[in-house]
Amino acid sequence: MAYGAFEQTYAAAEDRYEHLAYRRAGASGLDLPPLSLGLWQKFGTDYSPQTQRDILLHAFDLGITHFDNADRYGPPHRAAQQVFGTVLAKDLAPYRDELVLSTKAGNPISPSPYHKGGSRKSLLNSLDHSLRDLGTDYVDVFYHHRPDPTTPIEETVGALAGAVQQGKALYVGVSNYAPEQAHEAVVLLRAAGVPLLVHQPRYSIFDRTPETSGLIDLAARDGFGLVVYSPLAQGLLTDKYLSEIPAGARAENSAFLKPEQIDATYRERAAALNALAAERGQSLAQLAIQWVLRRPEVTSALIGASSTWQLDHNVKALDFPALTDDELKIVDEHGVHGTGL
């Protein structure tokens, strides 16, 4: 179904703010939903436009107001932003002031030296292009996607601050920065009068880096929130791979998950975590989402979805009782850092 065939029939659910308990992003005044929808995967031209639209609108109906994008997301690059821009224009435009739209720049999107890195030219040119893709005159959060050691951080931070000063972004963030880099960005941004709102790191039961690196402690001290990605470890923290790799599963053709990562050690640990989840009456995915959100420094967890059912399933993770100390000990015993990574 072509995007042009959509009819303007959408009206947001009236009870959309009754489902989720919003969380404050660090020391800012901005609230975010505990779950945010990431368009990293399943929002390129290789996926059904109607399904993409259904997922985006259903997410908003559930109270998910934060939609996370990047110039790199597709395929091809920038396609996910264009997908969202189409749905925004046809369905969500009346609700633009209720949406938190984020995008990122800095990861390579072409062979050009101006389509990567942290230079002022690269970041602000990408932002202008992203605004055209999305069909909006500003984004709520503009991120530097990853550190660029070849560019002075003063230039990168200056570009982020400039985006706010030009009215093209309301807030700024960084992604994949080490704690010392994040703190330097905080200091420089603070001097420019543009506080760092959020940092986006990878965090899951199988990837404890934000804990061991000190990033979580830094977030509390420096006053920024964490919007964590891959809380399900690319599907490893689901029941999908407990016995075999299903036909058509991500591990068959993904650049981020390979069959060799799904070994006997992984299966033993994942099975134990799955058993704990079953005792709690939930799925392993729901347990994994609850686990990252147990930390107050984590403002929101980014989830993907290939269907509205999967979206509903993940949102239901928020309905379960908090993990007890004994259950957290079991998670620590079997959720060994580096498993499957």
Residue 222: its H or E element: helix 215-222
Percent of the chain with pLDDT over 70: 93
Classify residue 329: in a domain, yes or no: no
Classify residue 338: in a domain, yes or no: no
Classify residue 80: in a domain, yes or no: yes
Full-model pTM: 0.94
Residue 145, pLDDT > 90, answer yes
Classify residue 333: in a domain, yes or no: no
Q: How many domains does the chain have?
A: 1
Residue 28 sits in which domain range? 7-233+284-324
Q: What is the pLDDT of residues 85-137, one digit of tens each?
A: 999 999 999 999 999 999 999 999 999 999 999 999 999 999 999 999 999 99
pLDDT at 254: 55
pLDDT at 243: 82
Cα–Cα distance between 148 and 339 in angstroms, integer?
A: 28
Assign residue 73 a region (left: φ > 0; alpha: ψ between -120 and 50; beta: otherwise).
Answer: beta
Classify residue 193: in a domain, yes or no: yes
Q: 340 pLDDT band (50/70/90 cuts)?
A: confident
What tokens appear for 200 in the block? Answer: 């986006």
Pairing of strands 139-144, 100-105: parallel
Residue 157, pLDDT > 80, answer yes
Residue 253, pLDDT > 60, answer no
pLDDT at 2: 47
Average pLDDT score over residue span 42-71: 98
3-state secondary structure 289-335: HHHHHCCCCEEEEEECCCCHHHHHHHHHHHHCCCCCHHHHHHHHHHC
Classify residue 253: in a domain, yes or no: no
Pairing of strands 225-228, 35-38: unpaired
The answer to whether residues 161 and 192 touch, using CB atoms and an 8 Å cutoff, is yes
**CATH no. for residue 215?**
3.20.20.100
Average pLDDT score over residue span 202-219: 98
